Structure 1
Amino acid sequence: MIVRCGEVRMDYLNRSFLFDAVGLTEQIEPGDLVVVETDFGMDIGQLMREICEQEVEAEALPLMKLMRKINEDDSAKLAGANEKETRALEVSGEEIEKAKLGMKLVSARYTFDGTKVTLCYTAEGRVDFRELVKTLASRLRTRIELRQVGVRDEARLHGGIGPCGRPLCCATFLREFQSVSIKMAKEQGLPLNPTKISGICGRLFCCLKYEHDTYMEIKKKMPRMGEEVTIEGVKGRVIGLSIPKNSVEIETPDGGRSWAELPPLEFENRFQPCERKCGCGSPETNVRDAENAAFKDEPDDVSLHNAENAGRETVPEEENRPVPVPASEIPDGKER
């Protein structure tokens, strides 16, 4: 079903949801903070893309309402919530220390109407916090939700600067974490030293996923390692590849080596303008939203009806933990 809606990211859930924007006349730009309606009361999130008409699965309907852009009163209310969140962290830390639970608090997040506080924490395994919830509820006088997150979520919630010198992807535009493996680094010719391809969270760089598909597509169009070729008058066997330079290293029969540039590769134009002419598919907007679509173009068509259960008791992911690479798997440096 086609519905006019907006995609809003709830930072403490690390997910984006679609909200019904039918009848909303206020001008709201991507990046603005907005007030939305949820099953748990009013809440605040960040608009990720321009509001437009898009296909929504029937199972996700009806969508919750996108109410408005935050105003001065809302901003003042947010400032008060920040003070309450600081106190919630202090109280929770005291109770966790008393109960001697192996938990490390990451953040506290009150809903906009102050009816519930979500406490995110990391732990080595599962923690029985039933008594802790009762104690915190009596001290904070509000509903309590404890959410276990992984180390990547911890980095996203705190933010920071990556080795590239830019703000962390997960704390800025990424809508969800994707699986990243050491194989991706190997196929892109990167050094397999875990300290050089891991982020501040200790997991492999999320950006290893960004260009992986392109590398694989280009690699299919290039000569294979060991293949006999003749390029620019040079005949020999391919012993090295440079995908960024679109060139190959050739070993001639007399033992000489030289690099030869391949003809420019042709690719299909993947730009798909919006058929509804709502502005979300214009070149200018696509440039601005390019980072938001780093992983996939389709929005996460999920309503916030089940947001409380979505991601509850999330077990820290292990698939992205860098592991020492056996020397036998490290390339000899010929393939670049």
Structure 2
Amino acid sequence: MGCSSCSTGKDGQPRGCKNNGTCGTDGCNKLTVFDWLSNMSLPNGQKPFDCVEVRFKNSRKEFFRNSEGLSLAIGDVVATQAKSGHDVGIVTLTGELVKVQMKRKKVDPTDQDLPKVYRKASQRDIDIWQKCRDKEAEIQKRSREIAISLNLQMKLSDVEFQGDGSKATFYYTAEDRVDFRQLIKDMAKAFSIRIEMRQIGYRQEAQRLGGIGSCGRELCCSTWLHDFRSVSTSSARYQQLALNPQKLAGQCGKLKCCLNYELDMYLDALKDFPGQDTKLHTEKGVAFCQKSDIFKETLWFSYKNDPSNWYALSKERVQEIIEKNKKKESVASLEQYVVETVTEEKMVFENVVGQDSLNRFDRPKKNKKRNHNKKRRRNKQNAHKKS
């Protein structure tokens, strides 16, 4: 999605709003929630919910109480309460849907200690806010240089200024515990601001920074995914995926969140499906399962003495053989239960409506000049014979 400012330039290339995810219409922001209750009116006598959802840099969202009764709408820039001073953010949700989001994120809607919305941001507030946002890239680069000079095993991934410019929060990732006391002293001396260090995980880092996944789309965690569920290699095993860490890992270095999307469907399909450790007893020998396909409902078995030859059996046939084996009855061989696969011949090319052949460029070209000379000699010889 793009906001109304994301128009096309003179050369046909998208110009972009250049607001770094803070455009007023909330079209370019991450984790945008559609307010499907916006066109519905409240019942008589019911007051509108006095809390709003405010979004700050990247994916950070917090809930604030509108104690002053301000008329706020989605996209309004507001000054909110902070631990010291004030912060500036954009309203992303209002009304009854905020109560649903608060319950979803386990925030008590009746809590009177929620931070408050001070006012709608003035032009002076917005100017200070944008000025601080423009300095973040330079300060992030300088802070990384300071951390490298102190030999700290950490990565400073993002910097976020408070709306009034009095404090900066540095987000970092690290494998072990880091003693950054000297780092805070050096950065406070270099930047003349209050410093707050906040450690985040690798998935939270990918959520804040965003990017393009191997599927060609924007990362789920930075666009619509709100919570991180644990992903294990068993999710890949149930879906019969190759356990290749390079393909299963996302940009954060962890297993991709999308491995859980279709897992429930696979688990439901595998409930009445024979397992991979199934053994079939036949008079010809014991057969082991080599491969299964839940979409085609087909399993491939091979004999213990001949593992190179696989036999495709349907799920019903395999269950029938298993029931006979439970009754201590053995079948003659797997060949009696093999599924006959009919392969349809696909037409690679068909000459329709006067189309040329595909190998027309492979044919040798004829020399028209040589053929023309032969024809002239033949005509001269026929003329001499007649004379």
TM-score, normalised by the number of residues in structure 2: 0.53
The equivalent residue for 1:129 is 180
What is the CA-CA distance between 1:99 and the residue it aligns to? 2.0
Q: What is the alpha-carbon distance in structure 2 between the residues aligned to residue 60 and residue 39 of structure 1? A: 17
Q: What is the alpha-carbon distance in structure 2 between the residues aligned to residue 193 and residue 82 of structure 1? A: 40
- Match of residue 249, structure 1, among 281, 285, 298: 298
Q: AA paired with 1:255? A: Y
- Match of residue 19, structure 1, among 64, 71, 74: 64
Q: What is the alpha-carbon distance in structure 1 between the residues aligned to residue 79 and residue 225 of structure 2? A: 21
The equivalent residue for 1:162 is 213
Are 1:6 and 2:6 an aligned pair? Answer: no
What is the CA-CA distance between 1:17 and the residue it aligns to? 3.1
Residues 16, 205 of structure 1: alpha-carbon distance in 2 compared, 3 angstrom cutoff: same
Task: Spell out the pairing of 1:125-274 with structure 2 (5 A cutoff).
Answer: 125-220=176-271, 222-225=272-275, 240-242=292-294, 245=295, 248-249=297-298, 251=313, 252=317, 254-257=336-339
SS of equivalent to 1:195: helix
Task: Map Cα deviations across residues 119-152 of structure 1 (whole Å, 9 max, x no partner).
Answer: 1223332111112212211221111012223332
Residues 42, 257 of structure 1: alpha-carbon distance in 2 compared, 3 angstrom cutoff: farther
Residues 201, 5 of structure 1: alpha-carbon distance in 2 compared, 3 angstrom cutoff: same
Q: Which has the higher strand share?
A: 1
Query: What root-mean-square deviation, in Å, do the aligned CA atoms of Structure 1 and Structure 2 show?
Result: 3.6
Task: Map Cα deviations across residues 49-94 of structure 1 (whole Å, 9 max, x no partner).
Answer: 5532445537854322345776765554333112321332233233
SS of equivalent to 1:146: strand
What is the CA-CA distance between 1:241 and the residue it aligns to? 4.5
TM-score, normalised by the number of residues in structure 1: 0.59
Residues 126, 257 of structure 1: alpha-carbon distance in 2 compared, 3 angstrom cutoff: same
Q: What is the alpha-carbon distance in structure 2 between the residues aligned to residue 119 and residue 113 of structure 1? A: 16
Residues 27, 200 of structure 1: alpha-carbon distance in 2 compared, 3 angstrom cutoff: same
Residues 189, 24 of structure 1: alpha-carbon distance in 2 compared, 3 angstrom cutoff: farther
- Match of residue 28, structure 1, among 74, 77, 84: 74
- Match of residue 89, structure 1, among 134, 140, 162: 140
SS of equivalent to 2:248: coil
SS of equivalent to 2:169: strand
Q: Which has the higher helix share?
A: 2
Larger Rg: 2
What is the CA-CA distance between 1:208 and the residue it aligns to? 1.7
The equivalent residue for 1:98 is 149
What is the CA-CA distance between 1:201 and the residue it aligns to? 1.9
Task: Map Cα deviations across residues 146-180 of structure 1 (whole Å, 9 max, x no partner).
Answer: 22233323323332100111111122223332211
Query: Conserved in 1, the CA contact under 8 Å of 2:173 and 2:200?
Result: yes
Higher relative contact order (CA 8 A, sep 6+): 1
Q: What is the alpha-carbon distance in structure 2 between the residues aligned to residue 240 and residue 3 of structure 1? A: 54
What is the CA-CA distance between 1:189 and the residue it aligns to? 2.8
Query: Conserved in 2, the CA contact under 8 Å of 1:16 and 1:175?
Result: no
Q: What is the alpha-carbon distance in structure 2 between the residues aligned to residue 60 and residue 216 of structure 1? A: 41
SS of equivalent to 2:156: strand
What is the CA-CA distance between 1:104 and the residue it aligns to? 2.3
The equivalent residue for 2:113 is 62
Gaps of 5+ in 1: 229-236, 260-336
SS of equivalent to 1:257: coil
Gaps of 5+ in 2: 1-47, 281-288, 300-312, 318-333, 342-387
SS of equivalent to 1:28: coil
Residues 25, 167 of structure 1: alpha-carbon distance in 2 compared, 3 angstrom cutoff: same
The equivalent residue for 1:37 is 81
SS of equivalent to 2:247: coil
Task: Spell out the pairing of 1:102-121 with structure 2 (5 A cutoff).
Answer: 102-121=153-172
Aligned length: 242
Query: Conserved in 1, the CA contact under 8 Å of 2:155 and 2:173?
Result: yes
Residues 183, 130 of structure 1: alpha-carbon distance in 2 compared, 3 angstrom cutoff: same
Q: What is the alpha-carbon distance in structure 2 between the residues aligned to residue 43 and residue 36 of structure 1? A: 5
Task: Spell out the pairing of 1:277-288 with structure 2 (5 A cutoff).
Answer: none
Residues 50, 178 of structure 1: alpha-carbon distance in 2 compared, 3 angstrom cutoff: farther
Residues 176, 183 of structure 1: alpha-carbon distance in 2 compared, 3 angstrom cutoff: same
